[in-house]
């Protein structure tokens, strides 16, 4: 079905815009921003979104919210199907002011796909207006902190964070990190907690887990992912994964919601990659 033709006179009535695209493994979009808030969803593959404040990783049953005007860069792991919505800021109140990971339940997933199919949601159309309200309500829902990585603000701690993020398997003691960057251990530890809300140990575990999610999204086997993320064994990684996300890696990537609704396309491609 072709999308409805619009004229400039329709512009004031659009409350949600949409876009879609296919991206190969490793594809990236440089830092950019939008005047409308953006709900970024990939029905297949894994997205990583960076801003000055932090990093967010979203497998197929999560989306990332980028508020209006917030510069963000993106990278795709695995063959990715991007479906994104833009919400008009002067229409919807109380949308998150910071980037966040949003759980994509079956209803939100169908709303995203339908909105992309339509192209623009027009508030003069009752069905479109109702869809837009439901989408905005989902964005306002409590964000999920388990898949984000807040970055410290101060220059020295930012250098430490960049060093650790570039080498997820690094298991250097905090004292060794402190000496390397010329700060005291207590200053290092207290600084991370104060500036990110996470202890340094928790922050490092988050780095390893996010790296592992990207590698799993690329189709690498669990044993390889565990080693590359600095876990001592595959079983230790699976235990950590279960502790963080309450499921196993295989089930996580085969399930798009707690009710067990599956993304058949994603499962087929994952199985093909993993043999």
- Which of 93, 114, 145 corresponds to the end of one domain? 145
Q: How far is CA 216 from each of CA 93, 162, 198, rounded to the nearest angstrom?
A: 36, 22, 24
Q: Could you tell me if 212 and 137 lie in one domain?
A: no
Q: Could you tell me if 131 and 171 lie in one domain?
A: no
- Which of 113, 145, 177 corresponds to the end of one domain? 145
pLDDT at 109 over 80: yes
The CATH number for 91's domain is: 2.60.120.280
What pLDDT was estimated at residue 115? 95
What pLDDT was estimated at residue 215? 87
User: What is the average pLDDT across 52-76?
Assistant: 88
Categorize the per-residue pLDDT at 145 as very low, low, confident or very high, splitting at 50, 70 and 90: low
pLDDT at 273 over 60: no
Looking at the structure of the chain, the number of domains it has is 2
Scanning 145-263, the segments in alpha helix (DSSP H) are 155-166, 174-181, 185-196, 200-217, 222-228, 234-245, 249-254
Q: Could you tell me if 164 and 42 lie in one domain?
A: no
Q: Could you tell me if 19 and 102 lie in one domain?
A: yes
Q: What is the pTM of this model?
A: 0.74
What pLDDT was estimated at residue 4? 65
What pLDDT was estimated at residue 266? 37
Domain for residue 34, yes or no?
yes
Scanning the chain, the segments in alpha helix (DSSP H) are 106-118, 126-140, 155-166, 174-181, 185-196, 200-217, 222-228, 234-245, 249-254, 264-274
- List the structure tokens of 217: 């999204």
pLDDT at 189 over 90: yes
Q: Could you tell me if 133 and 42 lie in one domain?
A: yes
Domain for residue 21, yes or no?
yes
Q: Could you tell me if 12 and 141 lie in one domain?
A: yes
The CATH number for 200's domain is: 1.10.10.60
Domain for residue 2, yes or no?
no
What pLDDT was estimated at residue 272? 38
What pLDDT was estimated at residue 70? 92
Q: Could you tell me if 203 and 115 lie in one domain?
A: no
pLDDT at 256 over 60: no
- Which of 115, 145, 175 corresponds to the end of one domain? 145
Task: Note every long-range contact of 191-198, with CB atoms under 8 Å and residues 24 or more positions apart, other chains counting.
Answer: 191/152, 191/154, 191/156, 191/157, 192/152, 192/157, 195/150, 195/152, 195/153, 195/154, 195/157, 196/150, 196/151, 196/152, 197/150, 198/150
CA angle, residues 108, 109, 114, in degrees to nearest 5: 95
Q: Could you tell me if 133 and 156 lie in one domain?
A: no
Q: Could you tell me if 35 and 135 lie in one domain?
A: yes
Least confident of 36-40, 48-52, 196-200, 245-249: 245-249
Domain that holds residue 127: 8-145
What pLDDT was estimated at residue 265? 38
Q: Could you tell me if 23 and 126 lie in one domain?
A: yes
What pLDDT was estimated at residue 218? 79
Q: Could you tell me if 89 and 167 lie in one domain?
A: no
Least confident of 48-52, 203-207, 216-220, 232-236: 216-220
Mean pLDDT for all residues in the chain:
85
Q: Could you tell me if 12 and 136 lie in one domain?
A: yes
Domain for residue 41, yes or no?
yes
What pLDDT was estimated at residue 54? 85
């Amino acid at each position: 079905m072709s999308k409805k033709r619009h004229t400039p006179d329709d512009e004031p009535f659009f409350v949600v815009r949409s876009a879609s695209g296919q991206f190969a493994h490793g594809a990236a979009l440089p830092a950019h921003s939008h005047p409308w808030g953006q709900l970024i969803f990939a029905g297949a593959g894994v997205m990583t979104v960076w801003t000055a404040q932090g990093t967010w990783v979203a497998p197929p049953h999560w989306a990332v919210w980028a508020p209006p005007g917030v510069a963000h860069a993106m990278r795709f792991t695995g063959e990715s199907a991007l479906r994104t919505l833009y919400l008009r800021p002067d229409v919807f109140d109380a949308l998150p002011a910071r980037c966040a990971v949003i759980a994509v339940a079956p209803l939100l997933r169908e709303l995203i796909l339908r909105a992309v199919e339509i192209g623009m949601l027009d508030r003069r159309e009752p069905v479109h207006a109702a869809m837009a309200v439901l989408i905005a309500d989902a964005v306002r829902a409590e964000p999920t902190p388990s898949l984000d990585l807040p970055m410290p603000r101060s220059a020295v701690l930012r250098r430490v964070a960049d060093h650790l993020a570039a080498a997820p398997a690094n298991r250097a003691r905090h004292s060794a990190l402190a000496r390397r960057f010329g700060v005291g251990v207590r200053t290092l530890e207290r600084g991370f907690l104060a500036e990110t809300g996470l202890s340094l140990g928790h922050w490092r575990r988050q780095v390893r887990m996010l790296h592992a999610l990207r590698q799993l999204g690329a189709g690498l086997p669990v044993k390889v992912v565990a080693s590359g993320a600095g876990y001592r064994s595959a079983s230790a990684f699976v235990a950590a994964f279960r502790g963080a996300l309450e499921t196993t890696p295989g089930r996580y990537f085969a399930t798009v919601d707690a009710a067990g609704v599956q993304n058949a396309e994603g499962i087929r491609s994952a199985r093909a990659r993993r043999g």
